[in-house]
């Protein structure tokens, strides 16, 4: 990943009372001496509230769970679902691992980028779409496969289906529908 906040001074961030209370509910699911087992749930809560995990948020979660900052950083940078920088309203992850690549995954990524005028990893100027490459989504038989906002799996994403997905998401955004 493209950042290493551990050796740098990171801005201090105080978790809100609401965030802490949500994290506390997750921590309570584990033995008292294993608070760090709630790290993924805690980061998910922070990301849902802030849209991404900043270096300051990493440090705040580490402090709150009594973990080394590097351990939280490793989790954040290992899982694709955690955003290490701000993303658009719709995060589009296109699988380009071998089974998908052999069935149009690479061209699906290119088509999406061309349609939206961005390179992989970039966000459209209107803040609606971020396009990223993804590792195997476990849907190799549905190649090319992609994921919208880490939750919605889309199958057989050839050019036509990609175009209609973009239109559908633009409609959703215009109507103010939730993610």
Q: Which of residues 85-124 bind ligand FES (CB under 6 A)?
A: 95, 97, 99-100
Tokens 């190649």 found at: 143
Select 19 or 96, whichever has its Cβ closest to ligand FES. Answer: 96
We find the least distance from the C-beta atom of residue 149 to ligand FES, in angstroms, to be: 17
> Does residue 81 interact with ligand FES by CB under 6 A?
no
Select 37 or 97, whichever has its Cβ closest to ligand FES. Answer: 97
Q: Which of residues 42-71 bind ligand FES (CB under 6 A)?
A: none
We find the least distance from the C-beta atom of residue 155 to ligand FES, in angstroms, to be: 9
Instruction: Give bridge partners of residue 134 from the DSSP assignment.
Output: 95
**Cα 179 to Cα 90, 128, 133, distances in angstroms:** 8, 11, 20
Spell out, one character per residue from 123 to 142, where the chain touches ligand FES: x when CB under 6 A holds, - when not: -------------xxxxx--
3-state secondary structure of 130: strand
Select 34 or 155, whichever has its Cβ closest to ligand FES. Answer: 155
Select 51 or 99, whichever has its Cβ closest to ligand FES. Answer: 99
The HSE-up count of residue 24 (CA atoms within 13 Å, CB side) is 7
3-state secondary structure of 156: coil
Select 43 or 131, whichever has its Cβ closest to ligand FES. Answer: 131
**Cα 132 to Cα 28, 74, 143, distances in angstroms:** 35, 20, 16
51: phi > 0 → left, psi -120 to 50 → alpha, else beta; which?
left
- Residues forming contacts to ligand FES in the complex (CB under 6 A) are 95, 97, 99-100, 136-140, 143, 145
């Amino acid at each position: 990943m493209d950042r290493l906040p551990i050796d740098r001074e990171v801005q201090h961030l105080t978790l809100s009372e609401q965030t802490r209370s949500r994290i506390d509910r997750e921590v309570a699911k584990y033995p008292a001496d294993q608070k760090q087992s709630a790290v993924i749930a805690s980061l998910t809560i922070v990301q849902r509230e802030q849209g991404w995990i900043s270096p300051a948020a990493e440090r705040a979660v580490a402090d709150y769970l009594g973990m080394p900052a590097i351990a939280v950083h490793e989790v954040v940078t290992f899982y694709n679902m955690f955003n290490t920088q701000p993303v658009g309203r719709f995060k589009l992850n296109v699988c380009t691992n071998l089974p998908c690549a052999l069935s149009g995954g690479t061209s699906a990524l290119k088509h999406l980028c061309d349609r939206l005028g961005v390179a992989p990893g970039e966000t459209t100027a209107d803040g609606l779409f971020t396009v990223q490459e993804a590792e195997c989504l476990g849907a190799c038989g549905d190649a090319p496969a992609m994921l919208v906002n880490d939750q919605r799996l889309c199958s057989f994403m050839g050019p036509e289906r990609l175009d209609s997905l973009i239109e559908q998401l633009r409609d959703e955004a215009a109507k103010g529908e939730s993610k």
